[in-house]
Chains A and B, each alone.
Chain A
Amino acid sequence: MPSLGSIRRSFAPWNDAAAKPYIAFENVTKKFGDFTAVDKLSLAIYEREFFALLGASGCGKSTLLRMLAGFEEPSAGRILLDGQDLAGIPPYRRPVNMMFQSYALFPHMTVEQNIAFGLKQDRMPKAEIAERVASMLKLVRLGEFARRKPHQLSGGQRQRVALARSLAKRPKVLLLDEPLGALDKKLREETQFELMDLQHELGLTFIVVTHDQEEAMTMADRIAIMDKGEVMQVATPADIYEAPATRFVADFVGTVNLFEGKVADMSGDAGRILGADGFGLRVDNLAGAKNGARAWFAVRPEKIAISAVKPADEGLNAIEGEVWDIAYLGDMTIYHVRLEDGRIVRTSSVNSRRASDEQLTWHDRAWISFRPDAGIVLTR
């Protein structure tokens, strides 16, 4: 598979057939009464990986994390950590630690005592505890707050205490349940990079649960998209975005325009997708599709150009429409273009110059155009 997106990765054990998964979910099912939270799910996560579980609330991602931590037992299937079946091992004996969404800082203990809590449970000698706590405090830059109680800290400081506490025991795996959910936007962006650096520095395996796709895209080596207790796709952020496996994934991550039609005129990987209105889109990547099959061509808004006149290049797909809505966002402008049949196509263009020479406005006639390889053909 060609490398998609702009990042070249050297760390990719999932492409290495010889690599052994560090954590393996094997056909795991979890039922709460009649409700199936996780449905025959299998997943492999590798050592030192930063892995994200991304999905809407109620998709089963938190249940998955809680089963790994030991707060829930699977109804069926097994979970392996470094080859060992975790069944029956209570949370207090598992070599994983969790950072809770609410942080769950013990309100009656100081920052120091919170961080030392796990170490005390292991009966670590006092001197060692003090040393470890000091180094954790330094790691999260909270040295001067050691004697404070949680309620005397700001949101960002609490988040870092929670992180330090869950890292203090040097767990094999750190589980993070919506770790940045309670922070405001600016702090969240800063912290994302801090978490990545920390993970890299400590060489740990991180599994993060989030509903924020930007957060998952930023931090994770790989993302698992979950829906209704099932994994829809596991891939790198670039693959998820550029090569989604299904319409659900394409639509869930980012914005997408879907052109529905039937596959026709296949020659090699190239061919056409014929819409109901008879309009044919030239597409380049029909591998695996069959003539006459139903298919969707998924194109991201930023890969569609908009212009007042028809582009000269005959190799492009070009469709005429009317400018329906314009949203100026500063760094980019989003256009909604209404086609003849009433469909709305979204495009976005980066405002790389301060003044644009193309002054499109509401109800102008406009052409949208994109290359045959700008999108991906989906059959599901």
Chain B
Amino acid sequence: MTPASSPTSENRALRRLSSLVAGRLVIAIPYAWLLVLFLVPFFIVFKISLSETAIAMPPYSPAFSFIHGIAGLWAEVKKLGFDNYVWLTQDNLYLFSYLSSVKIAAISTLLTLVFGYPIAYGIARAPSTLRATLLMMVILPFWTSFLIRVYAWIGILKPEGLLNQLLLWLHVIHEPLIILNTSKAVYIGIVYSYLPFMVLPLYSTLEKMDHTLIEAAEDLGCTPVSAFWKITFRLSLPGIVAGCLLVFIPAVGEFVIPDLLGGSHTLMIGKTLWNEFFENRDWPVASAVAIILLLILVVPIVYFQQAQARAEEAGR
């Protein structure tokens, strides 16, 4: 009997085939979906960022078209230009938007960390019966609409809003504070909206920490404060990094918060992109803005992915 015709090797082949098909499909379907709807669109964005603005629908003239064959394509390629990118460098609006986005995102990330750490620490040290409930209370606002939570601050921060009413009534101030439509309101909005994203990773590292480490440090002569810095803080660094990335990256491209709370004077790139797209209807410039934003975020995103992959490996 030749090996190929023996029933066992047939069995083996059949089994390989069926598990291969099932395995392939499990990978192939989501893979194909993300390729088509996540990766390919970036190339389209890039392509359109190189084309010219036109007053039409869609409001750009395509940079490539394949109707004219290779020769036609080459002719098209020659027409391509980085005009839109040149335009971005010439108008200060874009440069300022980028810089102020990064600045606002960085400062609010730091603020979120400063506010989030004591909360995460407090929950991690809460009695175990209470911890699950407290944690759920941190997550609950995350389930309620982002838009609604940002909107809620308008009524509070307005010149005649609730905060000013309270402070005036307490005689802390005599003139209403102008907070809404300034970058201060944007900081408050980001800290508020992204707080759960900071607290959760912090909590999960702090919760895992062995409290006897602190006791050992204090036993060896550390004061509580230096034990906190040398042990607790150091060991929670992975959580701090994860939390900061989870806040910083989306905050750079944030649109809703600067739009609703920041007013016209607060420049942020997400808002600029939105305006370029919906108000000026300049799709190529909007695309160029998106590409640059993506370039700014590539480093932190890759860093975030590596941290995720490490966590995944550790969990394996």
Contact = CB atoms under 8 A, between A and B. Distances in A.
B8 interface: yes
B89 interface: no
A73 to B, nearest CB: 9
A336 B13 CA distance: 61
Nearest to A86: B8
A93 B12 CA distance: 12
A87 B12 CA distance: 8
Contacts of B15: 88, 90
Interface residues of A, number: 6
Contacts of A89: 8, 11
Nearest to B19: A90
Contacts, number: 15
B12 to A, nearest CB: 3
Interface in A77-104: 85, 87-90, 93
A90 B11 CA distance: 8
B94 to A, nearest CB: 52
A323 B13 CA distance: 68
Contacts of A85: 8
Contacts of B9: 87-88
A88 B14 CA distance: 9
A254 B9 CA distance: 45
A203 B12 CA distance: 31
Contacts of A93: 11
Contacts of B12: 87-88
A89 B9 CA distance: 9
A88 B8 CA distance: 6
Interface in B1-58: 8-9, 11-13, 15
Contacts of B8: 85, 87-89
Interface in A335-370: none
15 contacts: A85-B8, A87-B8, A87-B9, A87-B12, A88-B8, A88-B9, A88-B11, A88-B12, A88-B13, A88-B15, A89-B8, A89-B11, A90-B11, A90-B15, A93-B11
Interface of B: 8-9, 11-13, 15
Given A88-B13, A90-B11, 13 more contacts: A85-B8, A87-B8, A87-B9, A87-B12, A88-B8, A88-B9, A88-B11, A88-B12, A88-B15, A89-B8, A89-B11, A90-B15, A93-B11
